[in-house]
Amino acid sequence: MDGEKRLYFLGEDECGMNSVIAGGEENTCDGMDSFVAAGSHNELPGNMGFVSGESNTVSGSHSAAFGYINDVLGNFSHASGTGHVITDDAATAEGDGNIVSAYAAHAEGGLHICEGSYSHAEGLAARSYLDTQHAKASGGFSNPGEVGEAQYTNVIVRLSAEEGYPHPLLLGEEGRLILMNRKVNAFRIMIVASTEILTGGMNVLDVRAMGWELRGLIAKADTAESTALIGAVAKTVIVGTNPGWDVDVVADGECGALKILAYSSSSQMIRWVAFVEMVEVAFYS
């Protein structure tokens, strides 16, 4: 013993420096500081990884797979179940046959596609196509149907501004609520706008604030220019009567998006937050 043991294995297969194959057959563990717990035909080329089950591949570093035929290419990512493909970092897939291709996205259930960073899909055959979006489905119009053709989604957009109105509320710093092609979406939007609540002797009732609800339909064919509202948008002022404050929803034919606009005639700093819910239907199958 020279103090530097490079290969550790308890089964039949060799592995990389400071790594272990604890059992099973036809497993490989080329990464450093990694561990194959058991099973067969697993491949672990990533460093500091973990795998257990059958026919899994973990290429990303600090990543893990448990179950059957999972493919984890992202770093710091995790797959549990069967048939998942993860191609970006810090992502998670649980269940059956999910594809996760965005940073820190999460799929639970089956046959989802997660394309938006920090997004989440649950149920069966949902598609999270926007950053931070939450999508939920119970399958499509056949068994199991096309991904995302019958689903509910929600997302939060925001704005902070004191002049230069109108301004769009954005997803993150500059993201738009871009719609999927060949879909009709029913939307419901809750919006709140407020000036700052100051500390000290200020009465909270003196804060300038308003709330709205907007409901309507929007459709998009195969191009951004085809995006259009169907009928009129129903707008309700929940509370508040600040002169010059208003909101509106328009179809953005340049980006193919649902655009929420804020209006104000004051020079005060106002923060706007909208919770956008959509029920989406498509003829994909």
Domain boundaries, the chain: 8-150, 154-282
* Distance of alpha carbon 144 from the chain centroid: 21
Dihedral sign from CA coordinates of 78, 81, 85, 91: negative
Q: Which pTM does this prediction carry? A: 0.90
Render pLDDT for 126-166 as a digit per residue (tens, 0 to 9).
Answer: 999 999 999 999 999 987 889 999 999 999 999 999 888 99
Q: Name the average pLDDT for the chain.
A: 92
> Taking Cα atoms as reference points, which of 185, 154, 119, 135 lies closest to residue 274?
154
CATH architecture of 8-150: 2 Solenoid (2.150)
The Cα 95–Cα 88 span in angstroms is: 18
Mean pLDDT computed over 34-50: 94
Residue 145: what pLDDT?
Answer: 84
Is pLDDT at 61 greater than 70 in this prediction? Answer: yes
Q: Which two tokens stand for residue 238?
A: 């929940």
Is pLDDT at 274 greater than 50 in this prediction? Answer: yes
Q: Which two tokens stand for residue 29?
A: 């563990």
Percent of the chain with pLDDT over 70: 92
Could you give the 3-state DSSP secondary structure of residue 205? helix
Residue 203: what pLDDT?
Answer: 61
**Range among 5-14, 38-47, 101-110 with highest mean pLDDT value:** 101-110
The Cα 282–Cα 51 span in angstroms is: 38
Tokens 């604030």 found at: 209
Residue 213: what pLDDT?
Answer: 98
Q: For the CA atoms of the chain, what is the radius of gyration?
A: 25
Mean pLDDT computed over 120-124: 98
Dihedral sign from CA coordinates of 167, 172, 177, 181: positive
The end-to-end CA distance of the chain, in Å, is 64
> Taking Cα atoms as reference points, which of 133, 138, 281 lies closest to residue 220?
281
Q: Give the DSSP per-residue string, 131-151.
A: TT-EEEEE--SSSS-STTSEE
The Cα 27–Cα 6 span in angstroms is: 17
Mean pLDDT computed over 266-282: 94
CATH topology of domain 154-282: Immunoglobulin-like (2.60.40)
> Taking Cα atoms as reference points, which of 22, 12, 18 lies closest to residue 31?
18
Percent of the chain with pLDDT over 90: 79
Residue type, 153: T
- Kindly give, in sequence order, each residue whose CB lies less than 8 Å from that of residue 175, ignoring residues fewer than 6 positions away: 130, 131
